[in-house]
Chain A
Amino acid sequence: MILASNLIQPGFWPATAMIATIVLTSSTGEVLTAAAMKSMGDLDDIRARSGIRGAIRAVVTSPLFVAGIFFMAVAFFSLLFALNHMNLSLVGPAAASLTLVTNTIAAKLFLKENVDHRRWTAAVLVCIGVYFLAH
């Protein structure tokens, strides 16, 4: 991080806006992608039936997957932009831990996953763990 220490750190609100953009766009992308993968079934079974090309075709022709990739691309370029202004040690853990929480909420609401106490506990423990690990 010797190179990163030369960065001029942005203020609170610009930093928050950059991290919020990464979190929201990546969460949207991940939920859309998860919905796409869930709707097409086990990829190993598809590969066994129609080969690796068939599996790739099944994935890339899914509209949900394309929408997911779009949001992930926006999240990725937001991450590049943020890394150009802030240290990875701030952006990485902040975005990773917050995305975990927004993903869990979105998975329950939109993917109808059964987020029981065990999974909520896991999400919160991992979220705090990622935060501690970064400080």
Chain B
Amino acid sequence: MILAFVSVSVPLGDASLSRGMTSLPAISLTHPLTLIAAVFTPFIALGILLLIGYFASYLTALSWADLTYVMPATALGNVFVALLAHFWLHETISPLRWMGVALITIGVGFVAHGPASTTPPVNLPASTAQAEAGPAAGIIKKEQVR
């Protein structure tokens, strides 16, 4: 659920940022403060709100899973956008793009089959259930809950 929200909010947020930034006049390096002013335009603000929601979910995911596990999972967002564009907006998707969809889906399948975390968990009392059940037990239990 958390990873699904992470996947969907990023493309929507990025599209919103792009719409906002391309409608502004060109910004040069000599006037960097105009970038700050851009934050308060509606599309940029909406993009930032979506990305804040994404970030909270992303941090929660990172607290129980590896970065190399969360990253490919979030790339599923690109697949969602392509499928939405095809089935909802009736856009034509080229064979190369379908291949992209397939590769990302297979890639996510690869990591999803493995463990979510390969580093030992921290902040757990060493003498309790973890010691009795072995270090991997907590991770497996967490994955089942997700």
Which residues of the other chain, A, contact B90 by a CB distance below 8 angstroms?
A: none
Which residues of the other chain, B, contact A107 by a CB distance below 8 angstroms?
A: 66-68
Which residues of the other chain, B, contact A122 by a CB distance below 8 angstroms?
A: 68, 72, 107-108, 110-111
Say yes or no: A34-B27 contact (C-beta < 8 A), given A4-B18, A132-B103: no
Closest to A104 in B: B68
Size class of the contact patch on chain B: 35 or more
The secondary-structure label for the interface of chain B is helix
A30 to B68 CA separation, bound complex (whole angstroms): 11
Closest to B145 in A: A44
Could you tell me if B108 and A33 are in contact, using CB atoms closer than 8 angstroms? Answer: no
The secondary-structure label for the interface of chain A is helix
> Could you mark each residue 43-84 of chain B with 1 if its beta carbon is under 8 Å from any beta carbon of chain A, else 0?
010000000000000011011101111011001001100100
Which residues of the other chain, A, contact B19 by a CB distance below 8 angstroms?
A: 3
Mark out the residues of chain A between 17 and 54 whose CB falls within 8 Å of any chain B CB in the assembled complex: 30-31, 33-34, 37-45
Which residues of the other chain, B, contact A87 by a CB distance below 8 angstroms?
A: 18, 22
Size class of the contact patch on chain A: 35 or more
Could you tell me if B26 and A96 are in contact, using CB atoms closer than 8 angstroms? Answer: no
Could you tell me if B96 and A42 are in contact, using CB atoms closer than 8 angstroms? Answer: no
Which residues of the other chain, B, contact A115 by a CB distance below 8 angstroms?
A: 68
Could you tell me if A123 and B35 are in contact, using CB atoms closer than 8 angstroms? Answer: no
Which residues of the other chain, B, contact A41 by a CB distance below 8 angstroms?
A: 63, 121-124
Known: A38-B122, A81-B27. 5 other contacts (CB 8 A): A39-B122, A43-B64, A103-B68, A122-B68, A135-B96
Q: 16 A-B Cβ contacts within 8 A? A: A7-B22, A33-B59, A37-B63, A42-B64, A43-B64, A44-B60, A81-B29, A84-B21, A100-B75, A113-B67, A114-B119, A122-B108, A123-B107, A130-B100, A132-B96, A132-B100
Using CB atoms and an 8 Å cutoff, list the residues of chain B in contact with chain A.
Answer: 14-15, 17-19, 21-24, 26-27, 29, 35, 38, 44, 59-60, 62-64, 66-69, 71-72, 75, 78-79, 82, 96-97, 99-108, 110-111, 113-114, 118-119, 121-124, 142
Using CB atoms and an 8 Å cutoff, list the residues of chain A in contact with chain B.
Answer: 3-4, 6-7, 30-31, 33-34, 37-45, 59, 77, 79-81, 83-85, 87-88, 92, 96, 100, 103-104, 107-108, 111-116, 118-119, 121-126, 128-135
